[in-house]
């Protein structure tokens, strides 16, 4: 297949935001990425950005069997692994199982079905957002401390982020006659929502439905402010001590517009949970750009992906040179060998100052491909932890695949 490649220039520009009902959105400069200033560029290799790859095999005991990994977070020497159906599991950084945090139930320290987790790295606390809209707080070692219920006046949240002694949640509003905000700040002591930001009509092209993708809306940054984004937004926002401010804005004639969304939503029954996939299909056929994903950031680079029709594009912005390169993807020459039949692109789950962390063998399809590549010598013997590849079977837990940044 002929390679589709692009080159785009990232400019520092002005983007102002305003909301009559929102006193916490900051009007400041932000980066403006014009996707239409594009030229062709060859694919890059992983070895041009990363020094090495490795794996962490999550120990599979009777107490730590995982069907899949929905989210991972790091704190000190611990790895927190969330599976929404089963709960939160604590491993060390080598993948050895330590304990399960909390249990299923309705008692103190118990949850029904956790939707999301966030970590307070300063005070070393873990917060779980349960599907029943309770927030449970634990110590870093898993000791239960307290909980509270979110203040939900015809609203619901399923993602959570800690920042500067407060919690932030995404927001779905059932009452369509009122303002429908995307983000709320929550009092960390009692669950009261203290402010609301980013009206969906203005910032998410009118989309504020309960049904969406599994894309996480918050991005934890190791040495900086958390980021916030949703599927139809054309701006990545930053959660700062002074308020919410735009961080990177995207410009293109192909970006999905509010008019596009209104036309799509008018065609379907919006109470149908499958409506999101139908709308995405319609936008793809119209060659619209939406859903920025797979974001990671270092002192030097900002990385993200986006899709047009069936083609995925990778954008890599160099902060030192103010240049963004865009290509159809990277060639993973660190993890795979020439014997690999199918080279999966692993989705970034989280990142720190040293590495990005991805999840492998997270479903039957990817597990089958990875095991076949191991059998045929398609995985490099030079990756850290390569000796553990021989221990993997169809019954193994998902694995963590990491790539270490070049210094």
3-state DSSP call for residue 62?
A: coil
Residue 22 reports pLDDT greater than 60: no
Strands 71-75 and 110-111, sheet pairing? unpaired
Rounded to whole angstroms, the Cα distance separating 106 from 111 reads: 6
Give the pair of three-digit tokens for residue 321: 């040179």
Residue 27 reports pLDDT greater than 80: no
Mean pLDDT within 235-244: 94
Q: Identify the DSSP state of 210.
A: S
Rounded to whole angstroms, the Cα distance separating 296 from 51 reads: 16
Q: Which of 54-58, 311-315, 331-335, 389-393 has the lowest mean pLDDT?
A: 311-315
* Whole-number pLDDT of residue 318: 79
Cβ(200)–Cβ(208) under 8 Å?
A: yes
Nearest alpha-carbon partner for 330 in 41, 39, 22? 41
Q: H or E stretch including 313?
A: strand 311-318
Most confident of 243-247, 267-271, 327-331: 243-247
SS3 content of the chain, % helix, strand, coil (to 5): 10, 45, 45
Residue 21 reports pLDDT greater than 50: no
Rounded to whole angstroms, the Cα distance separating 69 from 23 reads: 37
Q: How many residues does the chain have?
A: 407
Rounded to whole angstroms, the Cα distance separating 103 from 142 reads: 11
* Whole-number pLDDT of residue 12: 31
Count CB-CB contacts under 10 A for residue 127: 19
Residue 182 reports pLDDT greater than 60: yes
Q: Identify the DSSP state of 217.
A: S
Q: Identify the DSSP state of 333.
A: T
Q: In what order do the strands lie in the sheet with 227-228?
A: 218-219, 227-228, 235-240, 243-251, 28-38, 6-15, 323-327, 311-318, 301-308, 290-297
Rounded to whole angstroms, the Cα distance separating 261 from 208 reads: 11
Residue 11 reports pLDDT greater than 50: no
Rounded to whole angstroms, the Cα distance separating 183 from 159 reads: 10
What does the mean pLDDT of the chain come to? 88
* Total-model pTM: 0.90
- pLDDT confidence tier of residue 26, bands split at 50, 70 and 90: low
Count CB-CB contacts under 10 A for residue 161: 25
Residue 1 reports pLDDT greater than 60: no
**CA 76 to the chain's CA centroid:** 21
* Whole-number pLDDT of residue 38: 57
Look-up: residue for tokens 């999840």?
A: 359
Give the percent of the chain with pLDDT over 70: 91
Mean pLDDT within 105-120: 94
Q: H or E stretch including 371?
A: helix 364-375
Strands 235-240 and 227-228, sheet pairing? antiparallel
Query: What are the DSSP calls for 91-109, one per residue?
Result: EETT--EEEEESEESSSTT
Give the pair of three-digit tokens for residue 111: 């949850």
* Whole-number pLDDT of residue 274: 87
Residue 249 reports pLDDT greater than 80: yes
């Amino acid at each position: 297949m002929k390679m589709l490649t692009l080159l785009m220039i990232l400019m520092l520009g002005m983007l102002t935001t305003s909301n009559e009902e929102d006193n916490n959105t900051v009007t400041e400069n932000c980066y403006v990425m014009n996707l239409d200033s594009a030229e062709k560029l060859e694919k890059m290799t992983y070895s041009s950005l990363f020094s090495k790859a490795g794996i962490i095999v999550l120990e599979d005991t009777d107490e730590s069997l995982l069907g899949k990994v929905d989210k991972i977070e790091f704190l000190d020497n611990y790895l927190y692994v969330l599976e929404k159906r089963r709960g939160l599991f604590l491993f060390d950084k080598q993948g050895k199982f330590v304990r399960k945090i909390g249990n299923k139930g309705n008692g103190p320290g118990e949850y029904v079905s956790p939707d999301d987790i966030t970590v307070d790295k300063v005070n070393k606390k873990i917060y779980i957002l349960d599907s029943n809209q309770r927030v449970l707080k634990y110590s870093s070692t898993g000791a239960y401390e307290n909980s509270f219920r979110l203040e939900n006046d015809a609203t619901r949240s399923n993602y959570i982020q800690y920042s500067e002694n407060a919690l932030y949640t995404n927001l779905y509003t059932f009452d369509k006659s009122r303002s429908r905000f995307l983000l709320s700040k929550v009092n960390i002591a009692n669950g009261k929502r203290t402010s609301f930001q980013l009206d969906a009509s203005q910032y998410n092209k009118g989309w504020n439905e309960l049904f969406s993708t599994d894309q996480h809306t918050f991005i934890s940054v190791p040495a900086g402010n958390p980021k916030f984004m949703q599927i139809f937004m054309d701006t990545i926002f930053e959660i700062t001590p002074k308020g919410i401010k735009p961080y990177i804005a995207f410009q293109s004639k192909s970006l999905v517009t509010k008019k596009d969304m209104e036309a799509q939503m008018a065609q379907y029954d919006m109470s149908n949970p499958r409506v999101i996939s139908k709308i995405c299909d319609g936008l793809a056929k119209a060659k619209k750009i939406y859903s920025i994903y797979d974001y990671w950031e270092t002192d030097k680079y900002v990385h993200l992906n986006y899709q047009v029709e069936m083609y995925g594009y990778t954008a890599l912005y160099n902060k030192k040179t103010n240049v963004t390169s865009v290509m159809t993807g990277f060639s993973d020459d660190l993890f795979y060998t020439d014997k690999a039949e199918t080279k999966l692109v692993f989705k970034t789950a989280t990142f720190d100052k040293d590495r990005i962390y991805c999840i492998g063998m997270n479903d039957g399809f990817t597990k089958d491909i990875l095991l076949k590549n191991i059998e045929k010598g398609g995985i490099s013997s030079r990756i850290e932890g390569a000796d553990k590849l021989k221990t993997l079977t169809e019954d193994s837990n998902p694995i963590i695949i990491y790539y270490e940044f070049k210094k």
